[in-house]
Structure 1
Amino acid sequence: MTTGAELLTDAFGRVQEAVHAAIEDLDAEEMTRRIDPAANSIAWLIWHLTRVQDDHVANAAGLEQVWLAGGWAKRFGLPFDDKAIGYGHTSEEVGSVRVDDAQMLLDYHDAVHAQTVEYVRGLQDADFDRIVDRSWNPPVTLGVRLISVVQDTLMHVGQAQYVRGVLGREPESGS
């Protein structure tokens, strides 16, 4: 029988693979280019989805965020609060997420992935019913929170892959 922990470990592994596919071999300009002035950049999308995973899983697990514990906030040096995860960011704030190379984003994502998987692998199916957030009606269980993180991260990495595809197209010649 496959457990919930095994399924979630596989799902988070798929997120990690998709993140790598979305940004490997991109340079700083490619990662920060936007398909229109108000669009999200690849750098922001990958940073945001990783911050959400880091924040939400750490909170549910009672762990410190990798962003803070691993010194990533200082390395990135972004112009907003260290606890920011991107929700409600303005177009200007999206544009301020810049990285020198894809490897830094990949390394941060991989560190978050490692903490996530270590936590998830230790879960038993009964753990998924534990309430982790009472601010919603109905209250959010651990299982619902983890599935929400998987869904959110997969949607954002899909957006990053789409942007990469759009930016990678050669301009059509005039007819």
Structure 2
Amino acid sequence: MGTPATDLLVDAFGRVRETVHDTVEGLGRRELTYRVDEQANTICWLVWHLTRIQDDHIAGVAGTEQVWLSEGWVERFALPLERHDHGYGHSSEQVASVDVDADLLLGYHDAVHARVVEYLQTLSDDDLPRVVDRSWTPPVTLAVRLVSVADDSAQHAGQAAFVRGIVNRAHE
């Protein structure tokens, strides 16, 4: 186990993983790609995007290659997007293009989650104040980046769970 701070981060990312699984498990492609309106994000896109952001940002601070690339997920998903795309600023058409089954989506999420936990467990309290991004004022520390990614992930997981609730009501 890590430090109390990193243990909290592991717990936070674990809660995101639980929400992702609770939201995605048992859904077919139709439910995963349901849109509340023509501009809304789908469960599939939200989970893919939050996972891509985790993968991109954690690989960035860890100095490793993204799981998306190193483990062949980009080829398995076969999306009509650039290899490094993670969904930020996507158009409605790009959101709709993220259409994969639950097993693939959860497989990628679990692979990224494992990498995130593995990385977090290497950290000490002395690592957390390290500046990882000087393009912001004030500069972003590792601690701030990790909390930001956990928060963004939790928000998107909650949005996906909300859409699942709408999907469930529509099929009652």
**Larger Rg over CA atoms:** 1
- State the Cα deviation string for residues 29-50 of structure 1 (Å, max 9, x = none): 1101101100000000000000
Hey, what does 1:61 align to over in structure 2? Answer: 62
Hey, what does 1:108 align to over in structure 2? Answer: 108
- State the Cα deviation string for residues 48-72 of structure 1 (Å, max 9, x = none): 0000000000100101000000100
How far apart are 1:170 and its partner, in Å? Answer: 4.0
| CA separation of 1:121 and 1:23: change in aligned 2, threshold 3 A | same
Separation (CA, whole Å) in 1 of partners of 2:171 and 2:72:
41
How far apart are 1:171 and its partner, in Å? Answer: 7.0
SS at match of 2:132: strand
What letter matches 2:96 in structure 1?
Answer: G
Separation (CA, whole Å) in 2 of partners of 1:75 and 1:53:
18
Q: What is the aligned residue count?
A: 171
Q: Does 1:39 align with 2:40?
A: yes
How far apart are 1:126 and its partner, in Å? Answer: 1.3
Match runs of 1:1-175 below 5 Å: 3-99=4-100, 101-170=101-170
SS at match of 1:145: helix
Gaps of 5+ in 1: none
SS at match of 2:37: coil
Separation (CA, whole Å) in 2 of partners of 1:62 and 1:160:
29
**TM superposition outliers: structure 1 runs of 4+ over 6 Å:** none
Separation (CA, whole Å) in 2 of partners of 1:18 and 1:58:
22
Gaps of 5+ in 2: none
TM-score using structure 1 length: 0.95
TM-score using structure 2 length: 0.96
